[in-house]
Amino acid sequence: MQGEFTSMNRKFIMKSIIILSGFLLSAGMFGALTQTQNITSDNWAAIPFVKQNKFNPILKPKADSVYTNPLSKKVVHWESGHIYNPTAIIKNGEVYLLYRAQSNTVPPSPSVVGLAKSSDGIHFERLNGKPILYPEYSYEKDGCEDPRIVTLPNGEYLLMYSAYDGKTARLCSALSKDLVHWKKLGPVFKGKKYENLWSKSGALITELKGNNFVAEPIKFEFGTQNENSVKKFGMFWGDTDIFFATATLDNLLKGKWKPIVGKNGFPKPVITPRAGLFDSRLCESGPAAISSNGKTLLLYNGMNLKKDQFGFCENLTSDEYTSGQIQVKTTNPFDVLHRLDIPFMKVTENYEKKGLVNNVVFIEGMVCFHDKYYLYYGCGDSLLALAVHDLKNNK
């Protein structure tokens, strides 16, 4: 099967999704198009999230931050133009943000990851002065993008990020004990079979322990009997469909994950885009998934089709990014129990409407802070903002 995944580029997948969605819609298989949904009745979901417009955007670009790109040898004003798509973690009672950043040049500099902290989750102080993650290898020469962080059972931090070489995005991982110094483990899908597989957006299944989401191994109920007898870590991934992968602790620490594939040998989707709804073009993992009482909640990003494309969601603008949620069975994430038909968060504010990419709210980082979920998100691929969900609403 070597080389089969080379053709799995974004254009091919987008075209396939549009054609398939059109067929299914014409066949009457999208009943949700004619139905309305009372979002407040979905007591399984974490809703509502309230945008903190009094403080948003909570972090803006900074012109005088510089570093030397080790590959190009150029001095770069690395966060002078755009800061967005953050992940978050609690350490010593404070919120730490790891955020994607680029220069204000045209084109922007390759993406890097910066670090900031806050005692109240709103007002952040930048740390380190330089990016904590930046391009060092050829497979990431055009950017280290879209970080997602979790705590491991041993207390270390695991960061999933996308490495981009100008042609292919590859999901990668890195380990750290202090959030500043990172040991890169390379692309997580290893071997010739997957070397050209477009992969992004790794969101591990976690449990809320204290204020942090801690990744825990699970006995899954799919695969062979021998495979199911071993506890493994689980991860949602993908930015077209959302797929799934697993790793033993030993392999996780080596940066080696196994994508779950279908009978056709290709990655098996957990969820796919839906014609006429907010995620008509693509679905992409959000922050770490949360497991509780045998069920797992995943917040994810959805993108709408263009207005002239069949299956376009009339309630949104062309190419708009919004936020959805699904609930799955923890031991078998392909068993989807619930899924929102309307987004729990969409573009409403001016700071979300204009940017490097217009009409984007993009969720990647969430912490439990003062009995609330603090959800950090990117706005127009240029700014950072915060939305809050009071956990009392879940009781």
pLDDT tens sequence across 136-154: 999 999 999 999 999 999 9
User: Exposed/middle/buried for 7, CB within 10 Å: 0-12, 13-18, 19+?
Assistant: exposed
Helix or strand holding residue 205 (H, E): strand 203-209
Bridge partners for 271 per DSSP? 242
Nearest to 346 by CA among 54, 121, 39, 12: 39
Write out 260-321 in H/E/C secondary structure: CECCCCCECCCECCCCCCCCCCEEEECCCEEEECCEEEEEEEEECCCCCCCCCCCCCCCCCE
Chain-centroid distance of CA 53 in Å reads 23
Domains of the chain, start order = 4-394 (2.115.10.20)
- Residue segments in the chain with a per-residue pLDDT below the cut of 50: 1-40
Q: Are 173 and 163 in contact (CB under 8 A)?
A: no
Tokens of 334: 């392909």
Question: What is the identity of the amino acid at 189?
Answer: F
Over residues 168-179, the pLDDT tens digits come to 999 999 999 999
SS3 of 28, please?
Answer: coil
SS3 of 47, please?
Answer: coil
Nearest to 296 by CA among 348, 353, 220: 220
pLDDT at 134: 98
Overall residue count recorded for the chain in this entry: 395
pLDDT at 225: 59
Alpha carbon distance 25, 36 (integer Å): 17
Nearest to 179 by CA among 212, 138, 206: 212
Q: Are 361 and 19 in contact (CB under 8 A)?
A: no
Bridge partners for 158 per DSSP? 150, 175
pLDDT at 199: 98
Helix or strand holding residue 21 (H, E): helix 10-26
What is the pTM for the complete model shown? 0.90
Strand extents, DSSP E, 330-371: 332-339, 361-369
pLDDT at 222: 85
Alpha carbon distance 286, 263 (integer Å): 27
**Helix, strand, coil shares, percent, the chain, to 5:** 15, 40, 45
How far CA 117 is from CA of 132, 193, 233, 287, in Å, comes to 13, 40, 28, 18
Alpha carbon distance 259, 371 (integer Å): 34
pLDDT at 395: 62
Tokens of 22: 């059109």
pLDDT at 309: 97
pLDDT at 359: 97
